[in-house]
Amino acid sequence: MSSVPAAEKLVYEYALVRVVPRVERGEQINAGVLVYSRQAGVLRAAIHLDEARLLALDPAVDLPGVRAALRAVADVCTGGETAGQARDEEPGRRFRWLTAPRSTVVQPGPVHCGLSVDPSAEADRLLDLLVR
């Protein structure tokens, strides 16, 4: 039995960021993941838009608009220039705002929970697993 203490696992929450080019059809692709951990002080967005897949769903999709909306999601996480009033909110409130259900082209999936010794790294792991 090892005398070295195991690394403490921290609770995190995550949600997929989906692109639904034609809301009435309900077809979607995963384009990113949001990760929030109050314990670790982490709020991250990892984004990857597969434009070819998106165009296969809707050849007339507004790609610049989708790119801008995904950039805005990432900016809300970092407090960037397009975050608007959300820039001044604490990370938990920003995560709740980003994961609130909406009927738009870029929308969140349901929130899930996990445990990790490094919640910040979960954004990249989940992006590889669920998006790419």
Q: Which domain holds residue 81?
A: 10-130
Asked if the structure places residue 3 within a domain, the reply is: no
C-alpha to C-alpha distances, 79 to 17, 57, 76, nearest whole angstrom: 18, 32, 5
Looking at residue 122, its amino acid is E
- Tell me how many domains the chain contains: 1
Asked if the structure places residue 93 within a domain, the reply is: yes
Residue 3 has pLDDT above 60, yes or no: no
Asked if the structure places residue 5 within a domain, the reply is: no
Q: What is the pLDDT of residues 86-120, one digit of tens each?
A: 778 899 999 999 999 988 899 999 999 999 999 99
Q: What is the pLDDT of residues 19-31, one digit of tens each?
A: 999 988 889 999 9
Asked if the structure places residue 2 within a domain, the reply is: no
